Every structure is written in C-alpha cells, then in structure tokens.
Amino acid sequence: MATLQNNYFLKALRREPTPYTPVWMMRQAGRYLPEYRATRKKAGDFLSLCKNPDLATEVTLQPLDRYPLLDASILFSDILTVPDAMGLGLYFAEGEGPKFERPLREEIDIQKLKIPDVAYDLKYVIDAVSQIKKALQGRVPLIGFAGSPWTLATYMVEGQGGTDFLTIKKMAYTRPDLLHHILKTTTEAVTQYLHAQIEAGVDAIMIFDSWGGALSHQGYLEFSLPYIKVILSNLKMMGNKKIPSIIFTKGGGLWLQDQAEVGAHALGLDWQTDIGMARQKVGHQVALQGNLDPAILLSKPEAVEKEVKSILDSYGQGSGHIFNLGHGITEHTPPEQVDVMLKTVREYSQQFHMK
C-alpha cells in the first residue's frame, strides 16, 4: 500500500497538530460536477454507477483532480446498499429519491430479515474500495462509510426517503420489539460491512445518522445512539482499533455529550450547531468536523469567505477540527464556489496552527 503523502485529515481526527485545518466535503463526488454527470450518464443510472467499481473509482477521484486542496477522499457509494443487500429491492424512480419494493411493514417480514453475505452481496463496494485505494496512490486518505441502523431502518420501514417518519415512529411506540429486531440485525450487517471496507483499505470510517434528529430525546437515546456505539465497539473488538471513526447525526446538536461517549474519534456537526460551543462541550474528548451551511455555496464568493472564516474563528486555536459542510453539497452549487471555500480554509486556518 502506498504511503500517504497527505495525512493531515487523519492527524486532525486524532487531534494531533497539523499545519492548517484539513478539509473535505460530504457528497464531494456528486451532481454539482459536470464530469460526474457525464460518468453517471455513461452508467445509465445512479445505482448502476454505484455497482460498477471502475466507474465508482472514476467519480471518487474526480473532485480530487479538480480540487487539489482537498485533504481526503470518500468512497463513492450509497448508504442504502446495505438494505438493498438485505433483499428489500432498492430502486431510484426518475426525479424522485430512493424507494424499496419490499418495505418492512409486517411482523413476518421483519422476523425473516437476514444479515447479508457482505463478501458476496456487497462485493462490488469492497472491490471499489480496493480499486480506489490503488488509484489514489497515497495522495490522500480514503474514508469508508455506512448509514446508522436507525437511519437505514427509516428507509426500510417507510419504503422511501422524504417522509414524516410516522410509520416507523408508530412502530417505535407500539411495537418497539419489532423495531429493535430490525436495528439489531442492521447493526450486525453494518458492522460486517464496515469491517470489510477496512480490510479492503479505507483509512477512516464514518457513520451517517442522517435521520437521528427526527427522534425525540428519549427516542434518540434508545433507537439510534446505542446501536452506533455497538458498531464502534464491535469493530474495535474485531481488531480495528487504529482506524479513526466519525459519527454524524444531522439535527443531533442536542446530544453532543452523549455522542462523545460512544467511542468515535470525531463528531460531525450540522450548520445549526456553533462549532465553538461544541468544542467547549466535547472538544477535549473528540475531534469535530463541520460545519458550513451548504446553501452558502450558492451565494457570492465574499459571503462564502466570510462564513468560512467565521467557523474557523469560532473553533479557534489548535488541532482537532476537520472543515466540512454541515450536510452534503447541493447539486446546484457552482463548482468555482468550492474553490473559494477550499482556498479560504487553507490560507486563513494556518494562523490557528502556529507552533
């Protein structure tokens, strides 16, 4: 394996000194890039792109080729590959989000839910990791990822994204035993999936809890966070102690102290949380990642610059900050605005890392 030429992202995750604040973007390989749109067209559709290791490698590298100031790459895939491998029949309707042919509504279907054979059912993802790692030639670290069990369960029960979560919340309140069965099975699947990604060469892992913020306070502490904790501790027991981890709950700023206790190296923040306040609360325990509002990138360069500086000022002196967006980059972002963000981070952050 090639030695990493730029390991500042990994150093920041471990809260070790870096010469500047490292930066990457959620969904950095995506629809805002014309080169991505061309590759997706070649693939035919989004799912075919995910399932083709050659094309997944191509799109993972596209943002790095365009933006040399990025400090990490992230595997091009989708969190819903796991429920798809569990036999729920993932598909993407034109102009709509992801949907499942066989959502989990009946007790009999829930009890039949099986952990997939990662080496077989998700081989295309593991092959993509190996290929991407090779193609990177040590330029920057590679992040692997999965959805949190709760977030995956919302799609598995609701049958699609963009809902008000009433079906799964009704299950949580009336048949918590069924929901816990889904969550336990999915936790085991995600653990095996992330372990396989680590074995294939990813340098860090991230768990996306995109819908954790939809839960009540008690709900989050029962149905979301404990399962993330189980995944992280299982991975450590499987011999992955050295691989740094990030957890990101969108809308999860209320639970920072609880999140800091589960064994992750870093917490991702959405844009509703002030990073300086988050650092005061948990910065002695974990690194922090975030948290520019992706909508800023639709505005003027001066506004982008101002907001980037404001976040860096708020975090302040010292290591342990990975600059990122507070959620995935929107497809309407002009690519040149990303240049403004990256350049500002690189230049302005150096003052916070002086020896």
Token code pair at residue 18: 């870096």
- Say whether 14 is catalytic: no
Closest CA to 206 of 71, 13, 6: 13
Whether the pLDDT of residue 199 is over 70: the answer is: yes
Residue 274 is a catalytic residue: no
Residue 355: what pLDDT?
A: 66
- Active-site option among 8, 20, 27, 220: 27
The single residue of 20, 36, 67, 155 carrying the catalytic annotation is 155
Which residue is catalytic, options 78, 84, 203, 209?
A: 78
Is 78 catalytic? The answer is yes
Round the average pLDDT of the chain to a whole number and report it.
Answer: 96
Residue 244 is inside which H or E element, if any? none
As a whole number, mean pLDDT of residues 186-208 equals 98
155 is a catalytic site residue: yes
Q: Of these residues, 8, 32, 40, 71, which one is catalytic?
A: 40
State the CATH architecture for 8-353.
Alpha-Beta Barrel (3.20)
Higher local confidence (pLDDT), 274 or 45? 274
* Domain boundaries defined on the chain: 8-353
What the block records as the tokens of 215 is: 């839960």
Beta-bridge partners for 147: 208
> Beta 98-100 vs 90-92: how paired, if at all?
antiparallel
β strands within 108-192, DSSP E: 142-147
Element (H, E) at 292: strand 287-292
207-234 per-position pLDDT tens digit: 999 999 999 999 999 999 999 999 999 9
Structure confidence by residue, pLDDT tens digits, 16-27: 999 999 999 999
Between 335-349 and 301-315, two packed helices, what is the crossing angle to 10 degrees? Answer: 40
pLDDT tens profile 231-243: 999 999 999 989 9
Distance CA 185, CA 179 (A): 10
* 84 has catalytic annotation: no
Residue 324's Cα: distance from chain center in Å? 11
